[in-house]
A and B are shown apart, each in its own frame.
Chain A
C-alpha cells in the first residue's frame, strides 16, 4: 500500500491530546478568572450626577460616615442621604459653587438626586447592614478606604466566595463598636484575643448555610 500520510503525522495523536487537555484546562481557567467579579466588577466607578468628593468630606473634613448614612446601624439598608442632608450645611457653605448646582436644583424642584448605585448585592442575597455593624464589622472591610476616594469605586468582589471567606473566619474584621467608621484601621496586636471575646460575648455566629443569605 502506498503511504498516504507523511512521517510527521505520527506525532499528531499526541499533539491532539495535549491540545484537547490544554483547551479544557484553559477554558475552565479563563472562565474562572475573566468571568469572576474580581475581573468584571472590581474597580467599577460610575460618574455620579453630583461631583461629590468622599475624600473631601469624610477624609479632609473628617465627617463621620453616619452623618449622612444615618440608618446604617438600625436598618438593613444603608440609606443614601436626601438633599436635605446636603443643605444642612450648603445653605451656608459654598452656596454659589458650580459643582453644587444639581443639588440646589434638586432642593428647589423637590426632585431627589439620582445617585448611581456602586455596591449592588443581588436581590436573591439577603444582606443587613445593621447586623454587620452591630457585630463589629467596620465600613472599610467591605467598602474600602472611602475617605481616600474622590469618586467612590468598588473595592471588593462582593462575590459569594468573598462573603463566605469572612463568614467562616470573621476574626480579622471585628472592631470595637466606637471604631466602626475609622478608615485605614489597623488591627491591634491583641486582635485575636479581642475577636475571641467579641465572638463569645456577642454570640457572633455568621451563617454559612444556604438559607443564611438566600432566604
Chain B
C-alpha cells in the first residue's frame, strides 16, 4: 500500500475563522498588551475595592474561626461535614476547566482553546487557592495542620496512607503545582512581549525578571514547545485524578449515598461542567468590558456550551444511575438515602440541583440559545448554583439521615457558613481582577499561531493568493 502525500485542506465543511476582524500579529499584541498598560480604569478600582473588601471579610471570619473554633459553624451530630467541605469541593471542581482547556484540548489539537486558555488556567489557579483554604481551616486547630503532611517527627506518627483524605492533599497539591507551572510557562513569551514594550524602568525590570530572559529565538521556541507539550501530558491525567481522589473522600466511607463506585467519573464530569460554566461567566464579562469580541468569538462560546451540555448530561446520567442502583441493589438503606434526597427534608435543594444542572442546560439543544450571550450568561450562573447545590446535597443529605434514626437532625448553616462562602468569592474575584489588570489575559503568542498568516501554505485545490 502506497501512501500518497497530498496537501489538502482538512475538513470538507466550511471553516469559520477562529479569530475575527482581519487581525494581524501586531493588532493582537496591541489589543491585549494595551489592557495591562493603560491607566487603571475607575470601574476596575471600584470592582476591586468591592472584591477586596469581601476578601477581607473572609479573612476576618477565618480569624474569628481560629479564635472561637469550628463551633461557629452549623455543624452538629450527625452532620459533621458541612459547608467547608461543600465549598472545598465546589471550588476544586471549578478549577478543573483550566487544565482541561489548556492540556487536554492542547493534546487534541483543538485550536480554539488559544483564546480562552490563559484565562481558564488563571481561574483554575485562583479557584484551587480558594479551595485549599477550606481543608486548611476546617480542622479547627489550624496550628496542627502540618499533621496533614508526612513529616518526620519524634512521635513516629504518620498520616494514614490508606485514607483518601491524605491523597486528597497530594492530589490537590500536585494539581496546583502543575497548573501553576503550566500557566507560567505559557506566560513567558507574553511577559517578554510586555517587557519589550515597557516604557518605564520599573516595568522593564519587573517584566524582565518574570520573562526569565526570553528572547524568542528559534532554539528557545523549540525547547519551549517541548516543555509545553510535556507539561500538557503531565497535566492531562491530573484532570481525571484530582476530582476522582476528592470523590473517594466520600466513596470510601460506608454512608449510604456516598458509598458508590460511580463517584469518580461522576465527580470529574461535574467538575468540568462547573469549571466551564465559571470560565464562561468570567469570559463573557471580560470580553464585554475589554472589547475582545474579535478574539473570543461566539464560536468559542458555542463550543464551550456544547461541553457544558455534554457534561451536564453526564451528571444527569449519574443522578439517574444512583437511583437505578439504589433500586437494583436491593439495599434498603441505599434506597432510603435516595428517596430521602429527592423527597425528604432537603428535597428543595435536590430539585434546585436537578433544575440547574440537568433541565436548564437542555436549552442548549437549540443553536439560537447556544449562541445568545445573555442566555448563556444566565445558564452559566444557574450551573454554578446547581453545582454548589450538588455538593451540598451529597454532603448533607447523606449525613443528616444515616443508619440511626434517633440521631437524625436537620442541618442549618450559621451566618459564618454563609459568610465564608461569600467571602471565598471575594478572594477569588480579587485575585482574578488583579490578573486581568496586570497580566495578558489572552495568550498572544498562541492566538497568533492560529491566525491564517501563521500557516502560509498553499493547499491543493485552493486559489493561490500570492
Interface segment among B64-72, B148-156, B440-448: the answer is: B148-156
Give the residues in chain B near A35, CB-CB below 8 Å: 154
Residues A4 and B204 in contact, CB atoms below 8 Å apart: yes
Query: What's the nearest-Cβ distance from chain B to residue A102, in Å?
Result: 36
Complex partner residue of A160 from B154, B201, B205, B208, CB under 8 angstroms: B154
The closest CB in chain B to the CB of A161 belongs to B156
Complex partner residue of A162 from B153, B154, B201, CB under 8 angstroms: B154
Residues A36 and B154 in contact, CB atoms below 8 Å apart: yes
The closest CB in chain A to the CB of B146 belongs to A31
Interface SS, B side: loop
Is A5 positioned at the interface, with any CB of B under 8 Å from its CB? yes
The closest CB in chain A to the CB of B197 belongs to A1
Give the residues in chain A near B212, CB-CB below 8 Å: 13
The proximity string for A residues 71-109 relative to B, scoring 1 for CB distances below 8 Å and 0 otherwise, is 000000000000000000000000000000000000000
Give the residues in chain A near B204, CB-CB below 8 Å: 4
Q: Which of B383-413 contact A (CB under 8 A)?
A: none
The closest CB in chain B to the CB of A28 belongs to B151
The closest CB in chain B to the CB of A40 belongs to B154
The proximity string for A residues 45-77 relative to B, scoring 1 for CB distances below 8 Å and 0 otherwise, is 000000000000000000000000000000000
Give the residues in chain B near A165, CB-CB below 8 Å: 156
Residues B213 and A10 in contact, CB atoms below 8 Å apart: yes
Is B1 positioned at the interface, with any CB of A under 8 Å from its CB? no
Query: What's the nearest-Cβ distance from chain A to residue B192, in Å?
Result: 10
Residues A160 and B213 in contact, CB atoms below 8 Å apart: no
With a 10 A CB-CB cut-off, give which of A4, A28, A157, A165 has the most chain B CB atoms: A4
The closest CB in chain A to the CB of B153 belongs to A32
Query: What's the nearest-Cβ distance from chain A to residue B158, in Å?
Result: 11
Query: What's the nearest-Cβ distance from chain A to residue B191, in Å?
Result: 14
Residues A1 and B156 in contact, CB atoms below 8 Å apart: no
Is A196 positioned at the interface, with any CB of B under 8 Å from its CB? no
Is A38 positioned at the interface, with any CB of B under 8 Å from its CB? yes
Residues A157 and B152 in contact, CB atoms below 8 Å apart: no
CA gap between A196 and B64 in the complex, in Å: 56
Q: Which of B265-283 contact A (CB under 8 A)?
A: none
A161-B208 contact, Cβ under 8 Å, with A1-B196, A10-B213 = no
Is B157 positioned at the interface, with any CB of A under 8 Å from its CB? yes
Give the residues in chain A near B154, CB-CB below 8 Å: 32, 35-38, 157, 159-162
A160-B157 contact, Cβ under 8 Å, with A4-B208, A5-B208 = yes
CA gap between A197 and B75 in the complex, in Å: 52
Is A18 positioned at the interface, with any CB of B under 8 Å from its CB? no
The closest CB in chain B to the CB of A160 belongs to B155
Is A164 positioned at the interface, with any CB of B under 8 Å from its CB? yes
Q: Which of B184-239 contact A (CB under 8 A)?
A: 196, 201, 204-205, 208, 212-213
The closest CB in chain B to the CB of A162 belongs to B154
Give the residues in chain B near A164, CB-CB below 8 Å: 156
CA gap between A160 and B155 in the complex, in Å: 4
CA gap between A38 and B154 in the complex, in Å: 9
Residues A4 and B155 in contact, CB atoms below 8 Å apart: no
Residues A4 and B205 in contact, CB atoms below 8 Å apart: yes
Query: What's the nearest-Cβ distance from chain B to residue A31, in Å?
Result: 8
CA gap between A4 and B196 in the complex, in Å: 11
Give the residues in chain B near A36, CB-CB below 8 Å: 153-154
Query: What's the nearest-Cβ distance from chain A to residue B129, in Å?
Result: 19
The closest CB in chain B to the CB of A210 belongs to B157
CA gap between A164 and B158 in the complex, in Å: 13
CA gap between A35 and B153 in the complex, in Å: 9
CA gap between A28 and B151 in the complex, in Å: 7
The closest CB in chain B to the CB of A164 belongs to B156
CA gap between A160 and B156 in the complex, in Å: 7
Query: What's the nearest-Cβ distance from chain B to residue A46, in Å?
Result: 22
The closest CB in chain A to the CB of B196 belongs to A1
With a 10 A CB-CB cut-off, give which of B156, B196, B201, B208 has the most chain A CB atoms: B156
Q: Which of A153-177 contact B (CB under 8 A)?
A: 157, 159-162, 164-165
The proximity string for A residues 1-32 relative to B, scoring 1 for CB distances below 8 Å and 0 otherwise, is 10011000110010000000000000010001
The closest CB in chain B to the CB of A32 belongs to B152
Give the residues in chain A near B151, CB-CB below 8 Å: 28, 32
CA gap between A32 and B149 in the complex, in Å: 14
CA gap between A164 and B155 in the complex, in Å: 8
Q: Which of B136-167 contact A (CB under 8 A)?
A: 151-157
CA gap between A165 and B155 in the complex, in Å: 10
With a 10 A CB-CB cut-off, give which of A10, A28, A165 has the most chain B CB atoms: A28
Residues B196 and A161 in contact, CB atoms below 8 Å apart: no
Q: Which of B332-380 contact A (CB under 8 A)?
A: none
CA gap between A145 and B156 in the complex, in Å: 26
CA gap between A5 and B212 in the complex, in Å: 11
CA gap between A13 and B156 in the complex, in Å: 36
Query: What's the nearest-Cβ distance from chain A to residue B90, in Å?
Result: 31
The closest CB in chain A to the CB of B213 belongs to A10
Residues B205 and A161 in contact, CB atoms below 8 Å apart: no
Query: What's the nearest-Cβ distance from chain B to residue A189, in Å?
Result: 30
CA gap between A37 and B153 in the complex, in Å: 10
A28-B152 contact, Cβ under 8 Å, with A10-B213, A13-B212 = yes
CA gap between A5 and B155 in the complex, in Å: 49
With a 10 A CB-CB cut-off, give which of B153, B157, B204 has the most chain A CB atoms: B153
Give the residues in chain B near A162, CB-CB below 8 Å: 154
Q: A32-B152, A37-B154, A161-B153 are in contact. List 13 more A-B contacts (CB 8 A).
A: A4-B201, A4-B205, A5-B213, A9-B213, A10-B213, A28-B151, A28-B152, A157-B154, A159-B154, A160-B154, A160-B157, A161-B154, A161-B155
Chain A to chain B contacts (Cβ below 8 Å), 7 pairs = A32-B154, A36-B154, A37-B154, A38-B154, A159-B155, A161-B154, A164-B156
Residues of A within 8 A of B (CB): 1, 4-5, 9-10, 13, 28, 32, 35-38, 157, 159-162, 164-165
The 8 residue pairs across chains A and B that have the minimum distance between CB atoms: A161-B156, A160-B155, A159-B154, A36-B154, A161-B154, A4-B208, A32-B152, A164-B156
